[in-house]
Structure 1
């Protein structure tokens, strides 16, 4: 689906040189496709591409900086690109095609659209490039060589278990601030939360749901709208910490903040401070630095030895709260501030 590679530039040579060049290029491509060698550049330097959903979200900033640091430590070069906004599939496709043209050895990608990017991934892999997903799985999962990510269903489940326990026997009156419709991470966290809190999708105790794209302002507006018909809310699911901040702001403006248990997922330093200050009760920390470091390590190993990673590698998550509840393992915000990102 992408543009042709650099072979097209050889048309100006004489016929004999052209044939030789094409034969050599064909041999090189065959070597890459078989995976016998990752094929570091002529200077021996490994080149790794990184494509994140955006370049401004603190989670992806932390992931990118950790990838750069690990690449420098391993003597590799990292080329970092990003979509313009969360959900910018076209921007990510263009970034992957750019990296293929640059001749990178491996591409690490956090897919905004787990199916929309498949053609670009297939094109890269057909060129012998290792492709590893970070943070977000593709659909199907084996569209990439491997995935290093949080188990988002389990992270959502941990949030749900905490919120249910924190209600201390009260029946939940739940509002859900989701992410981007159709997003893999969004769906996984939503589904995990409902499982953890013990409610079915259409349970009447789920009062309402609204997408927020993980944006604080959109989340605040969504919560303000929801509160007009669900002022008796006592539990709030949020996709991420910006959405949790928006939810808290709307509840506080209506004088309802004290009645609702707000849960979230991310583990950014601002989020941990929010929990410490009581803006929401809990966050489930994930570890973008570990995703990045493991992805770069795998990419360097592939480039130097031809060995590929495979399958899904869970990079872990931890419940962080200063109000522990029975049955949910957790760490306090002091631990959270030592281990947070962003």
Structure 2
């Protein structure tokens, strides 16, 4: 991990243990299904693009469906892909609990499942590719701490992602592993804005109305960070904002000085690695349950 031009960059790690040995298939069966929680977020669009490029290179047909942050839609998407005969299911869960039913549908049809970015709290998952979200949250907190000299209190706001998401849980855990053990931090507010830019704006506006001094904001993703910064700018506060993901809009905002930093992930690499994993499954190769992207 290293700090580069106010971008907090780190390698990606993952969880779970196991392997899948598939059966022989023909080229006509070279279909992979990808279900993303939302395509209304540049991070997941980048993930999709990385997967599509790799699928084209490897000669696979990749079918990408958008769950629109709706668990019922997610399950419907999974069922549709299974009926289309995909050889593997790549899924970025809307919610770590809600996705379990969708994964069990795939399990019942013997379709191997690879989770991306967010974990599932149940069902059998062949492999998982994701950031070390705990380390990223801690890195953000350390960066904020080092941005303030002296011993003055740092009034910090936490904008959480979707409740129930493993990314929300882990990024928050990383942040709190630092701020809860350092008396310089005062947690002004910790509220969910669902990884959404507009909600980030609205939640931050409400927090500002009730609190006169906010020194720093850590948002669990860049979309919320960008929304929060809009509210901060309108209020005239001198508040630093740190996001998470490293999407293009956030990098532009760092260049313009609107936000301070972002914990950068490699969404395109997560996408391409997931397709490489699906190819191994197709070829009946053993696969690792932990995939490190970066």
Name the TM tier (shorter chain). Answer: 0.7 to 0.9
SS of match in other structure, 2:251: helix
Deviations along 1:129-184, one digit per CA (max 9) or x if unpaired, are 221011111114x7311001111111111111101111223321111111222222
User: 1:1-342 counterparts in 2 under 5 A?
Assistant: 36-41=21-26, 43-84=27-68, 86=69, 88-140=70-122, 143-169=124-150, 170-196=152-178, 198-199=179-180, 205-256=186-237, 258=238, 260-304=239-283, 306-316=284-294
Residue deviations 1:261-302, cap 9 Å, x none?
211111111111101111111111101111111110111111
TM-score by length of 1: 0.75
Distance 2:202 2:267 in 1: 28
* SS of match in other structure, 2:77: helix
CA contact (8 A) 1:264 1:282 kept: yes
* Distance in 2 between residues matched to 1:200 and 1:243, nearest whole Å: 25
Decide whether the 8 Å contact of 2:96 with 2:164 is kept in 1.
no
Q: Which runs of 5+ in 2 are unaligned?
A: 1-18
Q: Which structure carries more relative contact order (alpha carbon 8 Å, separation 6+)?
A: 2
1:167 and 1:261 in contact (8 A); partners too: no
* Higher normalized helix content (fraction of residues): 1
Length, aligned pairs only: 275
**SS at 2:153 equivalent:** coil
CA RMSD of aligned residues (A): 2.2
Change over 3 Å in CA distance of 1:208–1:36 after alignment to 2: closer
8 Å CA contact 1:45–1:75 kept in 2: the answer is: no
Partner secondary structure for residue 173 of structure 1:
strand
**SS at 2:195's partner residue?**
coil
Runs of 4+ in structure 1 off by over 4 angstroms are none
Rg comparison, structure with higher value: 1
Further displaced range: 163-172 or 120-129: 120-129
TM-score (norm 2): 0.87
- The answer for unaligned runs of 5 or more in structure 1 is 1-33, 317-342
Offset at 1:100?
1.2
Distance 1:278 1:122, change over 3 A: same
Residues 266 and 286, structure 1, Cα contact 8 Å, conserved in 2: yes
